Structure 1
Amino acid sequence: MDRERTWWKEAVVYQIYPKSFNDSDGDGVGDLQGVIDRLDHVESLGADVIWLNPVYESPQADNGYDISDYRAIHEAYGTMDDWEELLAEVHDRDMRLVMDLVVNHTSTDHEWFRKSREDEDDYRGYYYWRDGEGPPNNWKSGFGGSAWEHDEEVGEQYLHLFDRTQADLDWDNAEVREDVYEMMNWWLEKGIDGFRMDVINLVSKPEGLPDGDPEQDWTGIEHFANGPNAQAYLEEMAERTYENYDTMTVGECVDVDVETASDYVSAEGPMDMLFHFEHMFVDVGDRWLSPAEWDLPDLKAVMSHWQTELDGWNSLYLTNHDQPRIVSRFADDGEYRRQSGKLLATLLFTLSGTPYVYQGQEIGMTNYPWSSLDELDDLQSIGKVEEAMEAGEIDAFEEVQDIVRARSRDNARTPMQWDESEHAGFTDGEPWLAVNPDHDEINVAAAERDEDSILQYYRTLVDVRDENDVLVYGDYQLLIPDHEELWAYRRTLTTDEGTDEVLVVLNFDDTETVATLDHAERAGEVVVANYDEVPTTDGVLTLRPYEARVYELE
């Protein structure tokens, strides 16, 4: 366990997806002034850092992850003056602002790609162009279909690991890296506090672009994830940019294991922490449209492995803009939604690492009941369904409706639910994506009025973590790993002042569960719990549906 104290280890990060957070001008799209208007909510939660999803100039094919100008603000979100006002307001509240960095690819509307297409000023080498009418290899896009697009103007194919409008930059070209670093330093000089780096471990592709394993859902990923120069390029990036500032960096890394992750985030590594996806695949089959039943021992095993084996600092997340709502995915979004939301929050704030809270998570927002493909905006969901239709695997959306309802990224992108009004207080206009019909019950205003709400519990957990170093820097020990309903673990921190220990017990079942476990006989004061009255224990614990308890150990 890395116990060197730093502000970003002790911080709580609140993620804002601006398009869906708050609309200030009634056009149905969230914007920067809307974020400013709601900063008091973020501050009151106890967040220390805001991670802002992309607000750069973009044609919005993939909601801003297709950037056409890294140094301009997309007009739907406002202006650079609005952004600078946001930064000042965040800093005035003693919070920090982390920007999303998308440099594996650019929009095909970017000036670099336009010049590359026209072979102007040596920009052809900024992207992966290959001769021929057919794809150079069998790599697939993460959104479905070939990862190669034929450009009629050029007469060649270009690589896009995501949408065809997101062309991959060739990081082997030193001029590409120089331009990226110059842009990053431009933002750092403006006063931002770090970067969340999108699919950053994909920047290095292997020489020759070999064929990929067709049995993989994402064909080719074994070659383009953690490529031959990924570590070297990230070390160079760090040295040339953010290592020269007081920043926080977190890299989104696909197809990464603990050993490779440790190279990226160890004390000598180029990033402070990273997002891995192992726990996000416990309920996923061998393909996107193939569901799998998940069980608690599997989830415990994955997350505990990262807790104990990572040489570096963990990031803790259960959802984000690319993942379903947590109460719908890992617990109960019906009868026990309140208890479920609190239980999952307890897990998030008592593991070792920096917790990330995604907008709406703090009020227990749920998945949307999608009923047709036309309702969706998510390129991934649409692409996967259309690919299955074209392959003759399905005839209609209804055949995969339940899977899409469970998995679509749009579940996290429905507008933030501020109150019970027609559009949940998100906008006075027509929202760009449908508001969840349960907003009349699940919203911030209702949570503020309710002393027992999920929102109030989040605030309590932030305070508890602030007051207990053992929950930040303590070692993690998993107890009863094979138990089907209970997740129990001990956190231990030994300093010159002595040893602090806590016991965390979480019941992931909708029935009462009884267990005998090590250390329970030493359970003392209850630090936090999601039920009002906690019975005493003599080593045998009886937990109610979705009950969470954290004890001091005597």
Structure 2
Amino acid sequence: MKSTWWKESVIYQIYPRSFKDSNGDGIGDLRGIISKLDYVARLGVDAIWLNPIFTSPNDDNGYDISDYRDIMADFGTMADFDELLHQMHLRKLKLILDLVPNHSSDEHFWFQESRKDRDNPYRDYYHWWPAENGKPNHRESYFDVNRDAWAYDQQTNAYYLHYFSKKQPDLNWENPALRKEIYDILRFWFDKGVDGFRMDVVPFISKDTSFPPIPDKYNGNFGDFYAKGPHLHQYLQEMNREVLSQYNCVSIAEGVGVKPEDVELFIDPQRQELDMLYHFEGMSIGYTPDGFKEPDPAGYSLLQFKQVYSKWDKAFEKGWGTIYLGNHDQPRMLSRWGNDNDEFRERSSKLLHTFLLTMRATPFIYYGDELGMSNIKFDDINDYRDIETLNMHQYLLQTGGDVERFMRAQQQTARDNGRTPFQWDNAANAGFSQADPWLKVNPNYVKINAAEQEDDPNSILNYVRQLIQLRKTYPTLIYGDYQLLDPANPQVYSYARSNEDGKFLIALNFSDKDASFNTNVDLASAQVVQGNYPNPQKDHNLRPWEAVIYRLT
């Protein structure tokens, strides 16, 4: 397999608003990130992915962009960005920005012009539908209180399309002039020295502009329909040809709506579209079918978890995949997939990182997960800041839904759980800011913080540093084949990684109880290269949340 820097990288995701505040306004910023680059470099990661830092009115925390070529005032200036990029490259860290190509802010110049009149040159930068033709066929909105993706605009007596918030009108990629604008934006940042882009909901960019009814087979899974626009791959190939192929960069698709059988269309190098994609199927495991992101009281099925990640490993064979368990759209990894109670918090956090860093894919570590940060579990709607939670709460109030049930579920699954400020030390506000933070700090920062773990050889932080170095030491853990072992085991996820350079066996007990696993491998002569318990037993038995990496001879 051809080696490339992005296949061999470990990527660290930073939510800028919550990482480090440098000017005392309660909001993280670029100079705050600069001040902590040595910490990030010591982790051993190779690249940083920043959530959007562009000018935005912040209806959806930066995913509603009003100027793609400038920096949000909350985060600093373009001079601060240039300094950040310079300091990162000095430390051999690459920078991946977040491109939002499906929609802009309604405060963007393009949309402000577009809504002035029907003959405006920017009218076709967005999807408009004349009201005199009747309301177009229904499209579901992710964030709208009424779930309606068509918003009426009185000024020109027309509806505009927004798959997300009303303040996030969808861009019309069917217009070549719009596509050229996007490509020029990419060149602007690449010419500054940016190393790649993660592309937000990029499978949604192409639309059938006749807007036919959504076929019944999608049965509420409207994202699956949105991801099948008629010219999607034509546009991605054009983007690659016009821009991406001209730079030593990485392109990462947020693969919402993409199925395993379709993924090679995006990432097969022969097709010359994008480099990597991350999927959502793993994130839906363990939710009840009738609630809004509501966890099953019985927990999630490890059998299903293994099946999903093994299936996607195979789907990525013609290209390259990603692996993640938490990000800005998810609750904290530890609370979702591990056990955040004191007894098992450290063990399960280390186990989850062992999984991330030994799979055949580029791993993404979300800021704070390397400390074992956990869900804050708000019980008051006034503590939330995320549009998804706030609008769904309002929707349930309007429709007589079960608000109490929703609030209980949000304690486990709300996106704000993963957005609380980074816990640097046990000073006020966890050392994040001298002012009240934009989102409350998790009270457990007093004992869970970077300063507490820095010099503790047994800390989660130092375990993650060791794992990253282990992955770099043994390329088999990057490029080796993946083989699921003991697939019917309900407690243990075990798998082999092998190639001509060696063979490893990874055994992970995803439970609070002792467990055993079955393989044909004699572990007596194996070398334990990493584990989250002292003195791992070489007898196919595992203690609660035990993770072991064996190098086989």
**TM-score normalised by structure 2 residue count:** 0.95
| Secondary structure of 2:152 counterpart | strand
Instruction: Provide the residue aligned with 1:297 in structure 2.
Output: 303
Kept after mapping to 1: 8 A contact 2:183/2:239: yes
Moved more, 29-38 or 250-259: 250-259
Q: Is the contact made by 1:212 and 1:219 (CA closer than 8 Å) also made in structure 2?
A: no
Alignment of 1:303-318 (within 5 A): 303-310=309-316, 311-318=318-325
* CA distance in structure 1 between the aligned counterparts of 2:308 and 2:91, rounded to whole angstroms: 36
Name the structure 1 match of 2:292.
Answer: 288
The total of aligned residue pairs comes to 543
Query: Taking structure 1 as reference, are residues 284 and 196 closer, same or farther at Cα in structure 2, changes over 3 Å only?
Result: same
Equivalent position of 1:98 in the other structure? 96
Moved more, 464-473 or 202-211: 202-211
For 1:36 and 1:14, how far apart are their aligned partners in 2? 14
Q: Does 1:76 align with 2:74?
A: yes
Closer/same/farther in 2, CA of residues 516 and 224 from structure 1, 3 Å limit: closer
> Where does residue 279 of structure 2 map in the other structure?
276
Q: How is 1:20-169 mapped onto 2 (pairs within 5 angstroms)? A: 20-119=18-117, 121-132=120-131, 135-144=135-144, 145-169=147-171
Cα displacement (A) at 1:132: 2.1
How far apart, CA to CA, are the structure 2 residues paired with 1:410 and 1:520? 45
1:480 Cα shift?
A: 1.0
Q: Distance in 2 between matches of 1:512 and 1:105?
A: 49
What are the within-5 Å matches in structure 2 for residues 392-541 of structure 1?
392-394=400-402, 396=403, 398-494=404-500, 499-521=501-523, 524-537=526-539, 541=540
1:333 aligned to 2:335? no
Alpha-carbon distance in 2 for matches of 1:210, 1:260: 22
Q: Kindly state the Cα deviation for residue 486 of structure 1 after the two structures are TM-superposed.
A: 0.2
Q: Deviations over 1:497-531 (max 9, x none)?
A: xx511000000011111233222446510011111
Q: Deviations over 1:145-165 (max 9, x none)?
A: 111111122221111101110
Q: Which deviations, in whole Å up to 9, do the C-alpha atoms of 1:436-487 show, x marking residues without a partner?
A: 1111111101111322111000100011000001100000000111111000
Q: Does the 8 A contact of 2:294 with 2:410 survive in 1?
A: no
Residue 103 of structure 1 deviates from its aligned partner by: 1.1
Provide, for residues 121-152 of structure 1, a one-character-per-residue CA deviation record: whole Å limited to 9, x for no partner. 42111101112287412211112411111112
1:166-215 superposed Cα distances (whole Å, 9 cap, x missing partner):
00001000110011101111111111001010000100112411223679
Report deviation, 1:422: 1.8
**1:299-318 Cα shifts (integer Å, max 9, x gaps):** 00000111123221011111
User: What percentage of residue pairs aligned between the two structures are identical?
Assistant: 41
Query: Is the Cα contact below 8 Å between 1:279 and 1:303 reproduced in 2?
Result: yes
Cα deviations by residue, 1:354-373 (Å, 9 ceiling, x for unpaired): 11111001001000121111
Decide whether the 8 Å contact of 1:138 with 1:220 is kept in 2: no
Q: Look up the equivalent residue of 2:331 and give its one-letter code.
A: P
* Matching residue's letter, 2:292: W
Query: Using the alignment, how far apart are the partners of 1:240 and 1:535 within structure 2?
Result: 55
One-letter code aligned to 1:129: W
SS in 1 for 2:517: strand
2:148 partner letter: S
- Secondary structure, aligned partner of 2:339: coil
Structure 1 runs of 4+ off > 3 angstroms? 213-220, 289-293, 520-523
CA deviation string 1:333-367 (max 9, x = no partner): 01200001100000000000111111001001000
Q: State the secondary structure of the residue aligned to 1:15.
A: strand
Shift of 1:216: 6.0
The residue matched to 1:268 in structure 2 has which SS?
helix
Tell me the distance in 1 between the aligned counterparts of 2:154 and 2:552: 68
Q: Distance in 1 between matches of 2:261 and 2:509?
A: 31
Q: Residue 197 of structure 1 aligns with which residue?
A: 199
State how far apart, in whole Å, the 1-side matches of 2:542 and 2:323 are. Answer: 25
Structure 1 match to 2:245: 243
- Whether the 8 Å contact between 1:57 and 1:69 is mirrored in structure 2 is yes
Give the superposition deviation at 1:57. 0.5
Distance 1:454 1:521, change over 3 A: closer
Match of 1:19 among 11, 17, 20: 17
The equivalent position to 1:374 in structure 2, one of 382, 385, 391, is 382
- Identify unmatched segments of 5+ residues in structure 1: none
Hey, what does 2:352 align to over in structure 1? 344
The 1:453/1:135 distance shift into structure 2, 3 A limit, reads: farther
Look up the equivalent residue of 1:508 and give its one-letter code: F
Letter in 1 for 2:43: L
Secondary structure of 1:14's counterpart equals: strand
Deviations 1:77-120 (A, max 9, x none): 00000000000000000111111100100000000001100136
CA RMSD of aligned residues (A): 1.6
Q: Match of 1:372, as an amino acid?
A: D
Q: How many Å separate the matches in 1 of 2:27 and 2:7? A: 33
**2:5 equivalent in structure 1:** 7
Query: Take 1:343 and 1:217, find their aligned partners in 2: how far apart are those partners?
Result: 37
Asked whether the equivalents of residues 139 and 219 of structure 1 are also in contact (C-alpha less than 8 Å), the reply is no
Report the secondary structure of 1:356's partner residue. strand
Whole-angstrom distance in 2 between the partners of 1:290 and 1:209: 31
Aligned to 1:223: 225
Say which SS state the counterpart of residue 87 (structure 1) adopts: helix
The 1:116–1:523 alpha-carbon spacing in structure 2 relative to 1, beyond 3 Å, is farther
Counterpart CA distance in 2 for 1:192 and 1:50 is 11
The 3-state SS of whatever aligns with 1:506 is strand
Deviation at 1:221, TM superposition (A): 2.7
Distance in structure 1 (CA, Å) of the matches to 2:137 and 2:17: 36
> What amino acid sits opposite 1:317 in the alignment?
Y
Unaligned runs of 5+ in 2: none
> Relative to structure 1, is the Cα distance of residues 520 and 253 closer, same or farther in structure 2, using a 3 angstrom cutoff?
same
- Asked if structure 1 preserves the Cα contact closer than 8 Å seen for 2:385 and 2:439, the reply is yes
Per the TM alignment, residue 223 of structure 1 is displaced from its structure 2 partner at its CA by 2.8
Q: Deviations over 1:372-423 (max 9, x none)?
A: 11111111112222222222122x4x33222111111101111011011120
**Tell me, what secondary structure is at the counterpart of 2:42?**
helix
Measure the CA separation in 1 of the matches of 2:524 and 2:327. Answer: 37
Q: CA 1:423–1:336 in structure 2 vs 1: closer, same or farther (change >3 Å)?
A: same
Tell me the secondary structure at the aligned position of residue 432 of structure 1.
Answer: coil
Q: Is the 8 A contact 1:419 1:425 kept in 2?
A: yes
Q: TM-score, normalised by structure 1?
A: 0.95
User: Is the Cα–Cα contact under 8 Å of residues 329 and 406 in structure 1 kept in the other structure?
Assistant: yes
> Which is worse superposed, 283-292 or 161-170?
283-292
Q: Which amino acid aligns with 1:460?
A: Q
Q: Which moved further from structure 2: 259-268 or 115-124?
A: 115-124
